[in-house]
Each structure stands twice: as structure tokens, then as C-alpha cells.
Amino acid sequence: MDTTVAGSPRRFSGLRKFFLTFVILLVLALAGYIYWKFYYPYTSDGVKSGYLNYAVKKGQLFKTYEGKLIQEGIRSKTAGAIQSNEFEFSIRDKEVFEVLKLNSGKIFDLHYKEYNGVLPWRGNTRYIVDSIIAMREPER
């Protein structure tokens, strides 16, 4: 008679260990995927320059700071057509948002990070601006 504690056969002990190991590995894999998708910077960081079109606070459930730069230069996939280069982004800090909000129309150099996914409380885009590198008046 080969039994373990509580009178259950030993063969279930190995099956329980397998399922416990499987569940732990599944949770770890899911946690790693969530970290990679939403918290690991995709291209680490970069700088974009252009005219600030707008900076707004918006959202239904999560109020986030959003903005748009119009970048200089004309690029188009078809010959003879004009296309502006727009950079839409979310803003991390309220202080950065306040500076941008009060200086619409000026030229900014913005430092950003790109993430693989969008989180509703972080913003509407994958691009998160975390600082202002430079601000200047447009040349007239």
C-alpha cells in the first residue's frame, strides 16, 4: 500500500507539481510580456523638433496630457503632393504640459520615449514626452 499524507495516491503528487510549475511559469511569462509591451522603451529615447500645434488635457476616465508637433520639411510618397509631418505625443509631467500649453506656435525640441503599447493612464500614444530640451521663437 503506497499512499501519502491524506490518503491520496503518490501519482497525483507529481501531477500537482507539474501544474504548479506550469502555472508559475505561465504567470512569469505573462508578467514579462506585460513589462515588455507596456513599460520597456521600444527605441529607448529620441528627440523631435517642430512647431507646437497644440497641448491639451483630455480623456473620459483617465485625464492625460496630449500634444502635436508639426515638423519642418515636406515629404510625400507621391510626386507633386505636399504632406506635413506630424508628431502626436503624450506628456508625462504636468510641469512640461504647462510650459507647452502656454507656448503654442513656438519651436520645441522634445525628448521622448517610445513604448510598444499604450496604457490608458499614460496617454493616447506610444510616444511619451518627458522633457523639453529647447524652446525658441519661430523665425519670421
Reduce the secondary structure of the chain to three states and give it as a string.
Answer: CCECHHHCECHHHHHHHHHHHHHHHHHHHHHHHHHHHHCCECCCCEEEEEEEEEEEEECCCCCEEEEEEEECCCCCCCCCCCCCEEEEEEECCHHHHHHHHHCCCCEEEEEEEEECCCCCCCCCCCEEEEEEEEEECCCC
Q: What is the pLDDT confidence band of residue 98, given thresholds at 50, 70 and 90?
A: very high
Cβ(126)–Cβ(45) below 8 Å: no
Q: What share of the chain has pLDDT > 90, as a percent?
A: 55
What distance in Å separates the CA atoms of residue 130 and residue 113, rounded to the nearest whole number? Answer: 8
For residue 77, give the C-alpha cell: 510618397
Average pLDDT, the chain: 86
In tens, the pLDDT along 23-64 reads 999 999 999 999 988 888 876 688 999 999 999 999 889 999
pLDDT at residue 5 tops 60: no
What burial class does residue 89 get, using C-beta atoms within 10 Å of its C-beta: 0-12 exposed, 13-18 middle, 19+ buried? buried
What burial class does residue 129 get, using C-beta atoms within 10 Å of its C-beta: 0-12 exposed, 13-18 middle, 19+ buried? buried
Cβ(129)–Cβ(90) below 8 Å: yes
Q: What is the pLDDT confidence band of residue 112, given thresholds at 50, 70 and 90?
A: very high
Q: What is the pLDDT confidence band of residue 133, given thresholds at 50, 70 and 90?
A: very high
- pTM (2 d.p.): 0.73
